[in-house]
Structure 1
Amino acid sequence: MDRLEAMRTFVAVVEEGSFTRAAERLGHSPQLASKYVSQLEQSLGTRLLNRTTRRVNLTEAGGGYYQRAQQVLVEIEEMESQLGELQHRPRGLLRISAPVSFASRHLPRLLSDFRKAYPQVQIDLHLNDRRVDIVEEGFDVALRIGQLKDSSMIARKIAPINLVLVASPDYLAEHGTPRTPGELAQHQFLKYSYSDDNIPLDKRDGARMKESGISCNNGDVLVEAAVQGAGIALQPTFIAAPAIANGSLVTLMHDHIPPPMGLYAIYAHRQLLASKVRCFIDFIDGYFGSPPAWDQGLALKSTAPS
């Protein structure tokens, strides 16, 4: 038995005063309406209606059940209406996880613009460079940077993320400028803790860059260490571009750096996606331009001094 449909039928019979009119209201046959009410009475173990050929009357138990059933059905209708509004008018709390450096540099304006467009959506932004479990940790969307791997999650690519190998002019003046992957093995490397070993070395000779004594899980720190002459860093242009533009850093061996990564919006489900999530993903897609704003005007060529 469909308990909810039986409850609706019972309420309709009471309000219409007959099984025939209740059936017409609900789009049932009178026989099916009678069957629903009989099954409801059997499941409750009590008679709800006294039936005659002319009319139906509530029993004492039926009167009490009718009042409660009305309340339940009204609450269900209100809940469904509210859920419908959430699907059509974005509102509520949107929990986002994003990488620290990217978020601090490039999300404030985006979030401000998004809130202007959707003022009924509140943002709860968490910054973390580790890969969060968006379902387990309760996030609606996670922004991730890297190469897209197989996953049960849904991903939309938002922007390309270019990498550059950089060092300061002072460091290169003291230690020399590497021209080939093999020459990198003679230089100090500023290591990003969460990265794979994707430095453009000549692996045939087993070459490895020397540790500089500095590793960090934050790219801003490593770029600033490179500016101060501590070594060579492989970092995304959305962090390194300002230092390259003002001459604090120069790019090296552009033809040998790893291929671009991507900025992805990751979410759990494609079907029945909450309106607030769908609107945010659509809003961020294309927001940063093509090429992205941080790459515009940046010559991604080796500009190291001879």
Structure 2
Amino acid sequence: MANWEGVQEFVAVAETGSFTRAAQRLGISVAQISRQVSALESRLSTELLHRTTRKVSVTEAGRLYYQHCRPLLEGLDEAERALTRLQGQASGLIRLTAPITYGEQQVAPLLNGFLLQHPAVRFDLQLTNQKLDLIDGGLDLAIRLGRLEDSSMMARRLGSRRLYVCASPSYLSQYGEPRTLAELQDHNCLPGTLDSWRFRESGQERSLRVNGSLRVNSGFALVDAAIKGIGLVQLPDYYVSDHMARGELVPILEEFQPDDEGIWALYPRSRHLLPKIRLLVDYLYDALNNGPANQVTASAAARIVTRGLDDWRELGEAEPL
């Protein structure tokens, strides 16, 4: 296998334009990437990469070598996929990202369940509310909420989340229950990171600016304030469902509830989806069990996220994952 040493590392650097991003993609150290590529160049007696303190670029010889190596690596990937399909199990590192709260409450427990079923898998989960670039970050998968931005990524809707406006029984007893959107101006509406709340009125989406005595970028802090009778909140179901079930919070203005928002699995476009990623996405979909089992381009999902699922099939942009 000596002839293969350094090839995967070189291809990763050539495609990402960076030793750091190549290391992130392959899950190894920058030093190891550098050593392997240098050893490959030494063995070939050819400079494959131009290195400066600011950038890395591929030489003419490197471009020729890359053109021959890329199909060989794809063949190896396909061979591994064939074995994985035969074995019916996933293995290897999966690097993914998810929003902090949803990731802690929903995604991480599901990943732990997946690990129990597939002990040969390893996860590197990054919880952040920043939308990380999958290619630059060497990520295999991202869990995104709400409307998708236009991109070249592929997207699969895993489920949905619902927004609720809630208040405690004590607040409603003291200040009354608003029956129309206009009445919200007379109430203490506690905003989170956004100045506006979303509603649907007369079949149309509507954003309404709200004000209150507390602004905080924590859903848990808003829930606590609402339970204590301080004001109204609008939050996704995973924050408030349990509290509504226990009667600690009461949903209001339900006739103005906005459309459910999508929960998406986002991953780079590829001719072949790695079996471990396919198995994980299927597992997440089955566990959430709330959304259409369709795969579309992220740009298409961004355009038609508010349209019916049948429209995706009519547009011809859906493919079975």
TM-score, normalised to structure 1's length? 0.62
Relative to structure 1, the CA distance from residue 243 to residue 286 in structure 2 (aligned partners, 3 Å threshold; closer, same or farther) is same
SS in 1 for 2:136: coil
Aligned ranges for residues 4-15 of structure 1 at < 5 Å?
none
Structure 1 counterpart of 2:96? 96
Task: Give, as a single letter, the amino acid of the residue that structure 2 aligns with 1:278.
Answer: R
Structure 2 counterpart of 1:260? 260
Task: Give, as a single letter, the amino acid of the residue that structure 1 aligns with 2:79.
Answer: G
Offset, 1:78: 10
Structure 1 counterpart of 2:198? 199
Counterparts of 1:96 and 1:161, CA distance in 2 = 20
Contact 2:168/2:250 (CA < 8 Å) preserved in 1? yes
Describe the superposition over 1:129-155 as per-residue Cα deviations: whole angstroms up to 9, x where unpaired.
232222222221111110234322111
Contact 1:165/1:234 (CA < 8 Å) preserved in 2? yes
Relative to structure 1, the CA distance from residue 87 to residue 227 in structure 2 (aligned partners, 3 Å threshold; closer, same or farther) is farther
SS in 2 for 1:147: coil
Q: Gaps spanning 5+ residues in structure 2: where?
A: 1-44, 46-70, 85-89, 292-321
Offset, 1:233: 1.0
Counterparts of 1:290 and 1:175, CA distance in 2 = 36
Offset, 1:212: 2.3
Counterparts of 2:277 and 2:111, CA distance in 1 = 13
SS in 2 for 1:277: helix
SS in 2 for 1:222: helix
Structure 2 counterpart of 1:129? 129
Offset, 1:117: 2.5
Aligned ranges for residues 156-167 of structure 1 at < 5 Å?
156-167=156-167
Counterparts of 1:249 and 1:181, CA distance in 2 = 19
Counterparts of 2:195 and 2:266, CA distance in 1 = 21
Describe the superposition over 1:233-258 as per-residue Cα deviations: whole angstroms up to 9, x where unpaired.
11111221011011111000101022
Structure 2 counterpart of 1:30? none
Describe the superposition over 1:265-301 as per-residue Cα deviations: whole angstroms up to 9, x where unpaired.
011114232222222112211212348xxxxxxxxxx
Aligned ranges for residues 5-84 of structure 1 at < 5 Å?
81=76, 84=79
Relative to structure 1, the CA distance from residue 109 to residue 98 in structure 2 (aligned partners, 3 Å threshold; closer, same or farther) is same
Query: Identity of counterpart residues, as a percentage?
Result: 30
Contact 1:153/1:268 (CA < 8 Å) preserved in 2? yes
Q: Gaps spanning 5+ residues in structure 1: where?
A: 1-43, 45-75, 292-306
Offset, 1:221: 2.4
Counterparts of 1:253 and 1:196, CA distance in 2 = 18
SS in 2 for 1:286: helix
Counterparts of 2:132 and 2:229, CA distance in 1 = 33
Matched, 1:229 2:229: yes
- CA RMSD in angstroms comes to 3.1
Structure 2 counterpart of 1:209? 210
Structure 2 counterpart of 1:36? none
Structure 2 counterpart of 1:244? 244
Q: Please identify the structure whose Cα radius of gyration is greater.
A: 1
Structure 2 counterpart of 1:114? 114
Structure 1 counterpart of 2:40? none
Relative to structure 1, the CA distance from residue 238 to residue 225 in structure 2 (aligned partners, 3 Å threshold; closer, same or farther) is same
Counterparts of 1:170 and 1:153, CA distance in 2 = 47
Counterparts of 1:177 and 1:87, CA distance in 2 = 60
SS in 1 for 2:189: strand
SS in 2 for 1:199: strand
SS in 1 for 2:214: strand
Counterparts of 1:155 and 1:77, CA distance in 2 = 28
Task: Give, as a single letter, the amino acid of the residue that structure 2 aligns with 1:214.
Answer: R
Counterparts of 1:259 and 1:82, CA distance in 2 = 41
TM-score, normalised to structure 2's length? 0.59
Counterparts of 1:227 and 1:85, CA distance in 2 = 53
Counterparts of 2:150 and 2:73, CA distance in 1 = 40
Aligned ranges for residues 291-302 of structure 1 at < 5 Å?
none
Relative to structure 1, the CA distance from residue 272 to residue 207 in structure 2 (aligned partners, 3 Å threshold; closer, same or farther) is closer
Counterparts of 2:246 and 2:171, CA distance in 1 = 16
Task: Give, as a single letter, the amino acid of the residue that structure 2 aligns with 1:144.
Answer: R
Structure 2 counterpart of 1:85? 80
SS in 2 for 1:285: helix
